[in-house]
Amino acid sequence: MNKILKKERLNPTVVRMELEAPLIARKALAGQFVILRAEERGERIPLTVAGQDRSAGSVTIIFQVVGGATMALDAKREGEYIADLVGPLGNPTEVEGLKKVAVVGGGVGCAIALPVARRLGELGAAVTSVLGFRSASLVILEREFSDCSARCFLTTDDGSRGERGNVCMPLGRLLAAGERFDAVFAVGPLIMMKYVAETTRPYGIRTIASMNPIMIDGTGMCGCCRLTVDGKTRFACVDGPDFDAHLVDFDEAIRRSRIYEGFEQRARERGCRLLRKEERR
Ligand SMILES: Cc1cc2nc3c(=O)[nH]c(=O)nc-3n(C[C@H](O)[C@H](O)[C@H](O)COP(=O)(O)OP(=O)(O)OC[C@H]3O[C@@H](n4cnc5c(N)ncnc54)[C@H](O)[C@@H]3O)c2cc1C
Ligand code: FES
């Protein structure tokens, strides 16, 4: 059981939670994730460690409420407990030696990108952050990215904040103007990461995608999180979650991400019934 020390809503569907987890807080590095269950009979879901406070013994997660498991987690209140939390899992993002990096986040992918941008900033790298959202009401973590970036670009699909369009537009413009990065780190919807990879490919810039396939055990046993990278099968939980974006088969990953749509829809409907009465009103 892990206590919820703090809960805060960042936008209508994104929640930040601080959880008591001293052992994970001591070990977690940027790019790693945890697998948690809100309820004992609930689904196991992977969420990135968005931050940790080693002295307080807590880790922060930032999650979007998209279906049954995240609804059950969101139904918990500050001071209550989640069933369990394992981690840190996955490999930390390789940040050593990078001097100039673009960190590209789409939607809740910004929560996964933030610890990487922070770590790069701490190591003295010049970070260019490019953040994309559907509209102004969904913008999250802008101040946190500004604090650790040399410059920050913001786009919205509908133009209600920042530049109208998607993250590939400012990124493509910078590259076309001759800007070069040691690496581009991208995290967000699969389609976004696919197009970031296509934007950087002509320039031969190392591009890392943080992949988020469905995971169950998180230890390389079930094979659920498999991806094809450079023609070979890789498990995101133990070989990733970061991969060379120019070598990932994104079309296959997109097809696989849709396999459970029917089950997810039913779980969402069940999840709605799990919400507290007062929250349904
Ligand atoms: C390494 C990793 C790190 C992640 N970090 C974050 C994060 O920091 N914040 C965040 O909001 N989301 C993160 N995700 C995605 C998050 O795990 C899913 O949104 C969550 O599992 C959805 O569960 P659900 O039951 O609420 O939704 P569902 O309705 O079941 O699913 C909605 C969508 O979430 C994805 N999903 C469902 N179950 C899983 C699962 N077991 N594993 C992975 N994806 C799943 C599917 O793409 C699905 O289409 C991460 C995923 C991975 C693999
Ligand atoms: S989640 Fe089972 S092998 Fe990766």
What is the whole-number distance in angstroms between the Cα of residue 99 and the centre of ligand 1?
31
What is the pLDDT at residue 281?
A: 40
How far is 19 from 45, CA to CA, in rounded Å?
A: 15
Q: Is the dihedral of CA 57, 142, 91, 223 positive or negative?
A: positive
Closest atom of ligand 2 to CA, residue 222: 2
Mutate to test the pocket of ligand 2, among 86, 233, 234, 237 (most ligand atoms within 8 A of CB): 237
What is the distance between the alpha carbons of residues 139 and 158, in angstroms, rounded to a whole number? 12
- Coil, strand or helix at 142: helix
Which residue has its alpha carbon closest to ligand 1 atom 39? 214
Q: Is 215 in the pocket of ligand 1 (CB under 6 A)?
A: yes
Please tell me the residue having the least CA distance from ligand 1 atom 38.
Answer: 214
Please report, for the chain, the start and end positions of each structural domain, with discontinuous segments joined by +. 2-89, 100-257
Burial class (CB in 10 A: 0-12, 13-18, 19+), 231: exposed
Instruction: Return the pLDDT at 162.
Output: 95
pTM confidence score: 0.90
Q: What are phi and psi of 151, to 5 degrees?
A: -155, 155
**Cα separations in angstroms, 208 against 103, 121, 161:** 10, 17, 27
Q: Which residues line ligand 2 (CB under 6 A)?
A: 215-218, 220-225, 235, 237
Give per-residue burial for 180-205: e unless 16+ CB within 10 Å, then b.
Answer: ebebbbbbbbbebbbbbbebbeeeeb
Q: What is the CATH topology of the domain spanning 100-257?
A: Rossmann fold (3.40.50)
In this prediction, residue 177 carries a pLDDT of 96
pLDDT given at position 259: 75
| Distance separating alpha carbons of residues 139 and 149, to the nearest angstrom | 17
**Whether the CB of 63 sits within 6 Å of ligand 1:** yes
Series of mean pLDDT values for 10-residue runs along the chain (281 residues): 95 95 96 95 93 94 93 95 95 94 96 95 96 95 95 96 96 96 97 97 97 92 94 96 98 87 68 51 40
Does residue 156's CB lie within 6 angstroms of at least one atom of ligand 1? no
CA-nearest residue for atom 43, ligand 1, is: 214
- Roughly what angle, to the nearest 10 degrees, separates helices 168-176 and 190-200? 10
| Pair of tokens at residue 70 | 């995240």
Nearest ligand to residue 141 Cα? 1
Measured in angstroms, how far is the CA atom of residue 97 from the centroid of ligand 1?
31
Tokens of 150: 């040399």
Q: Which CATH superfamily is domain 2-89 in?
A: Translation factors (2.40.30.10)
